[in-house]
């Protein structure tokens, strides 16, 4: 029996946010059950929690395709195989896999939401409508790459998921994981200087709270070799400039648009390499809104 104990960082409702001595990363306790998560992600996520998710994502596709291309091109630099088979766990409406198909990848997605998986299937994407831990792995091929975007923070079994990912990868296959970069230095600065609450905590939707250090540690423990770390724009910069998007959603939308416009202009102006170099340096410093880690089996 696993004993989840550690320093209690915060209490929210019935949940404690603990820095777990066993897991070596921060997570909620008690950990939500499979039944709780099934109800949340099978039925509610695209209807009650984020009803505009698909529409908003499609409207921002110029920006997202830039980020998808970066990931796909980076993966191709490291894989040895020429088959280009990729699995996207928690693929949502299939936007990443849609782009991968256009780039010549053989794609498979796993997604528990019926709404999202049906949206992906209508675009010709091979999607298994289920939770990853409920999939019979013998039914799946081996993959050159596995992608997870905003997934690992939502699961009640991140260690087991990564172990299964390792078993599904071909020799020297690549996994790329993107999660919120939580309890990072800028968030702590905002909390202390601007007297903000821990605005990044969101149980039970977000169960785990990773950052570059803890995600690196977990991947290495499972047997992955880290090959690249990259962040995304540190949204806390806006807060520290006086643009309080926490209290004003209208400001948040404006700053989100400005950040996307900056990156689109850098790409269209031929300076995308500059952005990536900056974000990789931010990753070394542990800052940036999300942690992106590429690792090899």
Contact (Cβ atoms closer than 8 angstroms) between residue 164 and residue 135: no
Has residue 1 got a pLDDT over 90? Answer: no
Q: Which domains does the chain have, with CATH numbers?
A: 6-296 (3.40.50.150)
Identify the CA nearest to 105 among candidates 149, 62, 140, 73. 73
> How do 169-180 and 208-209 pair as beta strands?
unpaired
Task: List pLDDT tens digits, range 34-48.
Answer: 888 888 888 788 888
Task: List pLDDT tens digits, range 50-68.
Answer: 889 999 999 999 999 999 9
Task: List pLDDT tens digits, range 276-285.
Answer: 999 999 999 9
% of the chain with per-residue pLDDT over 90: 89
Identify the CA nearest to 228 among candidates 168, 296, 160, 141. 296
* 181 CB-near residues (< 8 Å, 6+ apart): 210, 211, 212, 231, 286, 287, 288, 289, 290, 291
Has residue 81 got a pLDDT over 80? Answer: no
Contact (Cβ atoms closer than 8 angstroms) between residue 32 and residue 204: yes
Q: Where do runs of H (alpha helix) occur along 111-201?
A: 114-121, 158-168, 185-193
- The answer to pTM > 0.85 is yes
For the record, the structure tokens of 160 come out as 């087991």
Alpha carbons within 13 A on the beta-carbon side of 138:
0
> Would you state the pLDDT for residue 38?
86
Separation CA 156–CA 128 (nearest Å) = 20
């Amino acid at each position: 029996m696993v004993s989840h104990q550690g320093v209690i960082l915060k209490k929210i409702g019935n949940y404690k946010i603990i820095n777990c001595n066993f897991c070596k990363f921060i997570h909620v306790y008690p950990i939500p059950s499979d039944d709780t998560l099934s109800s949340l992600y099978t039925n509610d996520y695209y209807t009650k929690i984020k009803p505009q998710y698909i529409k908003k994502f499609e409207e921002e596709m110029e920006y997202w395709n830039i980020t998808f291309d970066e990931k796909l091109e980076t993966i191709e630099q490291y894989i040895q195989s020429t088959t280009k088979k990729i699995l996207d766990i928690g693929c949502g409406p299939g936007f990443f896999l849609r782009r991968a198909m256009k780039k010549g990848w053989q794609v498979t997605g796993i997604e528990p939401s019926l709404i999202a998986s049906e949206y992906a299937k209508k675009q010709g994407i091979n999607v298994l409508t289920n939770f990853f831990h409920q999939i019979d792995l013998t039914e799946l091929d081996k993959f050159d790459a596995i992608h997870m975007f905003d997934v690992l923070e939502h699961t009640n079994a991140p260690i087991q998921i990564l172990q299964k990912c390792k078993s599904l990868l071909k020799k020297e296959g690549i996994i790329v994981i993107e999660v919120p970069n939580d309890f990072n230095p800028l968030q702590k600065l905002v909390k202390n200087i601007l007297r903000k609450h821990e605005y990044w905590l969101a149980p039970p939707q977000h169960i785990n709270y990773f950052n570059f250090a803890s995600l690196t540690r977990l991947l290495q423990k499972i047997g992955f070799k880290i090959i690249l770390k990259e962040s995304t724009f540190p949204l806390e910069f806006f807060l520290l400039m006086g643009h309080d998007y926490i209290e004003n959603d209208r400001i948040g939308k404006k700053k989100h648009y400005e950040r996307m416009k900056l990156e689109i202009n850098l790409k269209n102006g031929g300076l995308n390499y500059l952005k990536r170099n900056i974000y990789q340096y931010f990753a070394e410093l542990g800052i940036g809104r999300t942690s992106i880690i590429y690792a090899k089996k």
